[in-house]
């Protein structure tokens, strides 16, 4: 009889197993703490939305909408899409719940999965995860600079090194049309050097050519006009103010005129933070301003700005030393010791100490070996003698030191050694 066929994870997805999940939890906890320090509050939106939300918000000419969305019809015949990005959902939520009428700042953060049918590669999956921050109703370029400073602070806190900050302005609805005209003409002259996809983009949206990773396209794009040479006086002043604020934060940056981001809704300031450690797909996070987006959805004339962080890439870059886990392994000998151990484990957990007790028959030696293999920092030994005396053996697995402690002293000894 043939072996049953095993069902594997779908291509472009991956399991985040417990040890790796610990890294994710640390990164997420650090990010949440920092975002909250800057006045952001968590928001959670549905994992799927009406397809038109992303067609309207992300842009019909973007690669996301044209090639990458997971779209399906439900039993009622409605076209739904698994979210490929988060900003349109936030805009929809603000309008639907009239959050702009409340006194709270429109500063939000979100952490969760996104879905794009893209070619899987290192650091890029079809189900991937992002951290997003969004600010609405704050027009001053100072807030854009503060967002970049917050992103830089997050990376430094996570000890992510060898990064560069790239900044640009993609202009506004007033100055960009002239630039797009010049860009189309320049791209048309280089058509033979462009890949078929970029040849299509000449008409659809020539800015997207700058996103292409094909080397011949990148080489051709280096000779295209720079958008920074076409900015109107207002956009130029906005960009200069943004850079001045970064200077006051003493944050180093590089002006990159080809930085346009991959989504249609960006206006004026855009930025990315890249890492040389990531190879060709080098962006850790990116964002910018989208001042017209709320109006597109029929909402009030409220400007917006923000960024998104690729969690898979960020976690891969954040160093974590493989130290002993900060938990206690409770070793017991015999049925009576197990009952006592269960009560002790409950006491320790209720005092915020992680405690693991496994209900398998093992010798004391094997239990200590097991604790060492799991990376426990402490072992508490409960046996017949310990039950009689009310004193337990507490072993520090890092030093090998073992002390006798009463129930109330277990927490004290552990916390004093931290």
In residues, how long is the chain? 418
Let me know the angle formed at the C-alpha of 148 by 298 and 296, rounded to the nearest 5 degrees. 10
Q: Look up residue 104 and give its DSSP letter.
A: S
Enumerate the H helices of 205-254 as residue ranges.
Answer: 215-221, 233-248
Q: For 128-132, 251-255, 276-280, 385-389, which range has the lowest pLDDT when averaged over its residues? A: 276-280
| Mean of pLDDT values over 263-290 | 85
Residues 190-226 have pLDDT tens digits of 899 999 989 988 888 888 888 888 889 988 988 899 9
Q: Is the pLDDT of residue 262 over 60?
A: no
DSSP code string of 116-174: -----BTTB-SEEEEEEEEEES--SHHHHHHHHHHHHHHHHHTT--SEEEEEEE---TT
pLDDT at 1: 46
| Mean of pLDDT values over 360-384 | 94
Backbone angle region of 407, left / alpha / beta, with phi > 0 → left and psi within -120 to 50 → alpha: alpha
Q: Which residues, in sequence order, are CB contacts of 128 under 8 Å at separation 6+? A: 113, 114, 115, 116, 310, 311, 312
Q: What is the percentage of the chain residues whose pLDDT exceeds 70?
A: 93
Which domains occur in the chain, in start order? 18-175+231-317 (3.30.930.10), 325-417 (3.40.50.800)
Residue 175 to residues 211, 231, 234, 261, 301: CA-CA distances in angstroms? 21, 6, 10, 18, 20
Residues 38-50 have pLDDT tens digits of 999 999 999 999 9
3-state DSSP call for residue 175?
coil
Residue 159 to residue 153: CA distance in whole angstroms: 10
Averaged pLDDT score across all residues of the chain? 90
C-beta of residue 251 within 8 angstroms of C-beta of residue 243: no
pLDDT at 225: 92
| Mean of pLDDT values over 300-313 | 94
Residue 167 to residue 344: CA distance in whole angstroms: 56
What six digits make up the tokens of 276? 């040389």
C-beta of residue 330 within 8 angstroms of C-beta of residue 382: yes
| Mean of pLDDT values over 305-321 | 90
Helix axes 335-350, 407-417, angle to 10 degrees: 50
C-beta of residue 280 within 8 angstroms of C-beta of residue 305: no
- Listed in order, strand segments (DSSP E) in 163-206 are 163-169
C-beta of residue 77 within 8 angstroms of C-beta of residue 50: no
Backbone angle region of 310, left / alpha / beta, with phi > 0 → left and psi within -120 to 50 → alpha: beta
CA nearest neighbour of 304 among 315, 318, 317, 294: 294
Residues 221-253 have pLDDT tens digits of 888 999 999 999 999 999 999 999 999 999 999
Residue 225 to residue 61: CA distance in whole angstroms: 21
Residue 221 to residues 117, 195, 210, 267, 281: CA-CA distances in angstroms? 26, 12, 6, 20, 18
pLDDT at 66: 65
Q: C-alpha 47: how far from its chain's center?
A: 16
Residue 132 to residues 44, 111, 394: CA-CA distances in angstroms? 11, 6, 44
Q: For 162-166, 268-272, 297-301, 323-327, which range has the lowest pLDDT when averaged over its residues? A: 323-327
pLDDT at 265: 72
pLDDT at 106: 96
Q: Which residue has the higher pLDDT, 260 or 85?
A: 85
Q: Provide the pLDDT confidence category of residue 121 given band limits of 50, 70 and 90.
A: confident
Q: For 63-67, 154-158, 280-284, 391-395, which range has the lowest pLDDT when averaged over its residues? A: 63-67
pLDDT at 5: 83
| Mean of pLDDT values over 291-306 | 91
């Amino acid at each position: 009889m043939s072996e049953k066929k095993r069902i594997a994870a779908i291509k472009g997805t991956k399991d985040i197993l417990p040890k790796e999940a610990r890294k994710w939890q640390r990164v997420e906890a650090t990010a949440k703490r920092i975002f909250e320090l800057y006045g952001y509050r968590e928001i959670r939106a549905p994992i799927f939305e009406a397809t038109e939300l992303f067609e309207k918000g992300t842009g019909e000419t973007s690669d996301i909408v044209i090639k990458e969305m997971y779209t399906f019809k439900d039993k009622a015949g409605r076209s739904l899409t698994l979210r490929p990005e988060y900003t349109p959902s936030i805009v929809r939520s603000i309008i639907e719940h009239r959050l702009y009428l409340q006194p709270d700042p429109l500063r939000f953060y979100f952490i969760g999965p996104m879905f794009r049918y893209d070619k899987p590669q290192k650091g890029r999956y079809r189900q991937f995860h992002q951290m997003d921050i969004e600010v609405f109703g704050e027009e001053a370029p100072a807030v854009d600079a503060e967002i970049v400073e917050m992103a830089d602070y997050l990376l430094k806190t996570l000890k992510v090194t060898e990064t560069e900050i790239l900044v640009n302005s993609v202009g506004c609805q007033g100055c960009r049309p002239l630039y797009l005209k010049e860009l189309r003409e320049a791209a048309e002259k280089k058509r033979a050097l462009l890949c078929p996809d970029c040849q299509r983009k000449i008409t659809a949206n020539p800015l997207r050519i700058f996103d292409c990773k094909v080397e011949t396209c990148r080489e051709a794009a280096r000779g295209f006009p720079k958008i920074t040479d076409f900015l109107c006086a207002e956009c130029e002043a906005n960009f200069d103010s943004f850079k001045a604020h970064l200077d006051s934060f003493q944050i180093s940056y590089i002006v990159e005129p080809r930085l346009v981001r991959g989504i249609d809704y960006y206006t004026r300031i855009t930025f990315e933070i890249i890492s040389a450690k990531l190879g060709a797909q080098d962006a850790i996070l990116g964002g910018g301003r989208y001042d017209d987006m709320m109006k597109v959805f029929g909402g009030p004339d409220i400007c917006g700005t923000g960024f998104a962080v690729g969690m898979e890439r960020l976690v891969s870059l954040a160093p974590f030393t493989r130290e002993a886990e900060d938990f206690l392994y409770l070793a017991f000998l015999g049925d009576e010791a197990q009952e006592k151990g269960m009560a002790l484990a409950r006491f320790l957990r209720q005092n915020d100490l992680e405690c693991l007790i496994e209900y398998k028959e093992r010798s004391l030696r094997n239990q200590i070996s097991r604790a060492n293999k799991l990376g426990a920092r402490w072992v508490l030994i409960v046996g017949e003698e310990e039950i009689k005396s009310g004193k337990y053996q507490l072993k520090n697995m890092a030093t090998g030191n073992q002390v006798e402690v009463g129930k109330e002293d277990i927490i004290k000894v552990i916390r004093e050694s931290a």
